[in-house]
Amino acid sequence: MKKSALPDPFEQARLEKGYGDINDQDDPVTMILRLKDVRKCAHNWKTFQSGATPGRIVVPSEVNIRETRQIPFEVDPPMHGTYRALVESWFRRPLEPAYQEKLAKQINEIVDEVLTADAVEVVEEFALRLQSRALTLLLNIPYEESETWISWGTHVFRSEDDPLDGDKANILYDYIDEQIDNAIENPGEDLYSVLLAAEVDGRKLTKEEVKGVMILTFAGGRDTVINAVTNSIAYFADHPESLVQLRENPEITGKAVEELVRYFAPLTHMGRVVTEDAEVCEHAVKADSRISLCWASANRDASAFENPNEVVLDRKINPHVSFGFSHHKCLGATHARQILKTLLTILAEKVKSIEILDLKENIEEWGKFKRKVGYDSITVKFKAR
Ligand code: EMZ
């Protein structure tokens, strides 16, 4: 098997019963594995809610490391729509030419840099830097600020040996509190200031609400983007012919991004809390228990995707759910897609091949399911065209 392959650990359970039971910190989760069921449950917010105790819909649960509700992600309709309407146009800015030019400049710079190095550890030296620098555009704040975020490492809630590290999480929360206070004193054109000036139902957002949006912006788009970028590099290392295909057919770049994101599924799943006794896949789920919508499994559902375990860069029909589904669809998707489109274009233009020198896989364990989601580290040598 190619080194970049991400096998599907859910196939058997998806075919046989459509769900899988896992335990997470003594708060069990029924993982929903088929695309059809994932979509149905994502739609049904009355029975499968997001607005539970903050942190509880995340798997692994974050109830022990935070109290702030992430907005709009941990809010149900109709309030969800009210919050979302506030931020939607801001998160569409990556479609503007000026934004895209700045992003292309950043990505050209980092690609030029790695092309001259003998060996590059992609997670820390490429993906994390690229993600942090690009985030300065999404927040509309000075580029230099990315140095601070890079110093936090790849995951803001996890440390080497602890999947949920309260001390580490506090670094992010304290930082955001400080930035909000700065923006109150010196309002600018950044996302903090925009949120502080915004109104819902005729009142200003509270500091806690602004913090909720900012935590989501930092945490939701961090390891996910890092995984997508790192997995893309590994994929092109194994498939130099794909770089040629993209160079010769640049019109497929958008489709290629969707296909890589389908195959990688950078976020394995997202939870919901069950509000009333219900049934999924003829399986009873109890009120106040949890389900999860398993994007990674749904993306390999053979009833919707032909040859689901193959990367087909110009795949025509691709209803993947890597950015979620229904009203909670990823707010950062426009930014993430633009990063990947730009990255693919620049790699195709400048890179001949990538050689993998060393790697350590990042394997998530969900009960009996073990899923490779990317790499803890992967060292490569980039070769220029
Ligand atoms: C939450 C989540 C959002 C969570 C769309 O995903 O991403 C996770 O990485 C964070 O840990 O807090 O923001």
CA–CA–CA angle 239, 296, 130 (5° rounding) = 55
Q: What is the pLDDT of residues 82-113, one digit of tens each?
A: 999 999 999 999 999 999 999 999 999 999 99
CB count, 10 Å around CB of 319? 14
- Cα 214 to ligand 1 centroid, rounded to whole Å: 12
Reported confidence tier of residue 17, pLDDT bands at 50, 70, 90: very high
Distance in angstroms (rounded) separating the CA atoms of residues 339 and 108: 11
CA distances from 332 to 140, 148, 149, 223, 325 (A): 14, 21, 18, 13, 13
**Model pLDDT, residue 86:** 96
Residue among 50, 79, 85 at smallest CA distance from 274: 50
Q: Measured from the CB, is residue 322 less than 6 Å from ligand 1?
A: no
How confident is the model over 182-193, as a mean pLDDT? 98
Query: Do 173 and 216 form a contact (C-beta atoms < 8 A)?
Result: no
Q: Which CATH architecture has domain 11-144+219-384?
A: Orthogonal Bundle (1.10)
- Cα 355 to ligand 1 centroid, rounded to whole Å: 32
Q: Measured from the CB, is residue 216 less than 6 Å from ligand 1?
A: yes
Q: What is the pLDDT of residues 203-242, one digit of tens each?
A: 999 999 999 999 999 999 999 999 999 999 999 999 999 9
Which one-letter amino acid corresponds to residue 74?
A: E
**Nearest alpha carbon, ligand 1 atom 8:** 220
Reported confidence tier of residue 319, pLDDT bands at 50, 70, 90: very high
Q: What is the pLDDT of residues 367-383, one digit of tens each?
A: 899 999 999 999 999 99
Residue 62: Cβ-neighbour burial (10 angstroms; 0-12, 13-18, 19+) = buried
Residue 46: Cβ-neighbour burial (10 angstroms; 0-12, 13-18, 19+) = exposed
CA distances from 342 to 46, 108, 201, 233, 267 (A): 39, 9, 38, 13, 21
CA–CA–CA angle 273, 278, 282 (5° rounding) = 120
Domain ranges of the chain: 11-144+219-384
Whether the per-residue pLDDT at 133 is higher than 90: the answer is yes
**For residue 367, what are its two tokens?**
């009960």
Q: Measured from the CB, is residue 62 less than 6 Å from ligand 1?
A: yes
Q: What is the pLDDT of residues 247-297, one digit of tens each?
A: 999 999 999 999 999 999 999 999 999 999 999 988 999 999 999 999 999
Q: What is the pLDDT of residues 109-120, one digit of tens each?
A: 999 999 999 999
Distance in angstroms (rounded) separating the CA atoms of residues 210 and 184: 11
**Nearest alpha carbon, ligand 1 atom 6:** 220
Whether the per-residue pLDDT at 161 is higher than 80: the answer is no
Residue among 96, 24, 97 at smallest CA distance from 62: 24
Q: What is the pLDDT of residues 326-364, one digit of tens each?
A: 999 999 999 999 999 999 999 999 999 999 999 999 999
**Model pLDDT, residue 154:** 86
Mutate to test the pocket of ligand 1, among 63, 73, 172, 292 (most ligand atoms within 8 A of CB): 73
**Nearest alpha carbon, ligand 1 atom 13:** 220
Q: Considering just the CA atoms, what is the radius of gyration of the chain in Å?
A: 20
The structure tokens 């993906």 sit at 127
- Cα 181 to ligand 1 centroid, rounded to whole Å: 24
Whether the per-residue pLDDT at 163 is higher than 80: the answer is no
pTM of the model: 0.97
Residue among 150, 313, 133 at smallest CA distance from 241: 313
Q: What is the pLDDT of residues 50-63, one digit of tens each?
A: 999 999 999 999 99
**Residue 375 forms beta bridges with which residues?**
361
Which atom of ligand 1 lies at the shortest distance from residue 155's CA?
A: 9
Query: Do 266 and 227 form a contact (C-beta atoms < 8 A)?
Result: yes
How confident is the model over 155-184, as a mean pLDDT? 90
Residue among 45, 3, 2 at smallest CA distance from 326: 45
Q: Measured from the CB, is residue 55 less than 6 Å from ligand 1?
A: no
The structure tokens 């895209």 sit at 100
- Cα 70 to ligand 1 centroid, rounded to whole Å: 9
Whether the per-residue pLDDT at 164 is higher than 90: the answer is no
**Model pLDDT, residue 41:** 98
Q: What is the pLDDT of residues 301-317, one digit of tens each?
A: 999 999 999 999 999 99
Which atom of ligand 1 lies at the shortest distance from residue 70's CA?
A: 13
Which one-letter amino acid corresponds to residue 307?
A: N
- Cα 215 to ligand 1 centroid, rounded to whole Å: 9
- What percent of the chain lies above the pLDDT cut of 90? 94
**Model pLDDT, residue 162:** 80
